[in-house]
Copies of this chain bind each other. A is one copy, B any other.
Amino acid sequence: MTKGQGLTLRQIAELSGISKSTVSRVLTKHPGVSERTRDRVEQVMREHGFQPNLFARGLAGGPTGLVAVIATEITSGFFAEVMNGINEVASGQEGHLLSCIAHNTGDYINLWRTFARKGRVDGVVLLAPPLQILEQSHAENEIPVVLCACRGERNRKGWSHVDTVTVNNEKAMTDVLEHLRVNGARHILYVGGPRDVYDARERRTSFLRVAREHPEIKMEMIESGLTRDQSFEVLNNYLRKAERCPDGVIAFNDSTAYGIMESLKLHHLRVPEDVLVVGCDDEPASAILGLTTLHMPMRELGRESARLLFAQLADETGSHKPQHSLLELTLEIRSSSSRQPRTQAQ
């Protein structure tokens, strides 16, 4: 049996009586190798379970199959699902994820800088990066990148040239408001997310636009952090001071919707009788809780990001035209927003 490291390409070469160069060629699926040679070498590799050394390969300039995913840990459900999606397509390409979880914005940017250079990973997906990254760093073109759940519009620091996968916040917000309006809401409160989050900024803009189109509805907006506790606090504050309660509340995500529902309960406001509530993400708990929400295609965000990344990797020409995938959010209507009279007292 082999001791330690497992065998090397050199040993495979000796075993099959062929040069290292040629073995390397079959390994990298280089076309110019005779079928006989290829078969023999592959046979030997299989027999011995040869696995090329990742580091040697990376150092020599070959692909390593390593994809860095840089994330913030704010919403672990989102994070995990997107990772699963990326992994799904990466593992089909013999790739592995190098996951980096940033603890804050500065950290995020450092991680990006670390991996932005060649010779570290094959490519990187920036998962819901803080918007500051678009201002404070360049989209150095050394390595394939895709922005997931974020997009830089203006051509600033090269970011407009990178592939993006985003979600149609505009349409989503329009759908939600229409749904609430149809269900009788005339005073809608939007509890938005932090300003440095792309989706939050987009939805904020959409909300304001729709508000202008519907002067008959009172539209208000406040801001909250991303967690249940934060939205609970924010809404408590709001309700304490509010003269009139809203009859519809839109949360930035499901977690904050839960906090909002708690706060409403505390203030003796019933959902949906007094207030309609809508969240976003469609976390597993939401179906159980009957929360109307926008279904976020997390896994597909991951898959699509990986697809775009591998497309860049496969593109020999180097003439990369930026791709922008836009995925839809679909409204899942449940009991928290439907005013139909209940059949049982429950």
Contacts and interface: CB of A to CB of B under 8 A. Distances in A.
Given A58-B55, A59-B55, A4 B118 contact: yes
Interface string A321-334: 00000000000000
Contacts of A91: 100-101, 103
Interface residues of A, number: 48
A196 B99 CA distance: 27
B54 A83 contact: no
Interface string A90-113: 010000111111010000000001
Interface stretch (A10-18, A71-79, A150-158, A163-171): A71-79
A317 interface: no
Contacts of A66: 98
A97 B113 CA distance: 17
A5 B99 contact: no
A114 interface: yes
Interface stretch (A123-131, A217-225, A242-250, A280-288): A280-288
A255 B284 CA distance: 9
Contacts of A285: 283-285, 288-289
A118 B53 CA distance: 9
Nearest to A57: B55
Given A58-B54, A288-B285, A96 B87 contact: no
Interface in A172-213: none
Contacts of A53: 59, 119-120
A345 interface: yes
Interface string A48-68: 010101111111000010100
B101 A87 contact: yes
Given A100-B96, A285-B289, A114 B51 contact: yes
Contacts of A258: 288
A44 interface: no
7 contacts: A54-B119, A55-B56, A55-B57, A73-B87, A80-B80, A99-B99, A289-B289
Interface of A: 4-6, 49, 51, 53-59, 64, 66, 73, 76-77, 79-81, 83-84, 87, 91, 96-101, 103, 113-114, 117-120, 142, 228, 255, 258, 262, 283-285, 288-289, 345
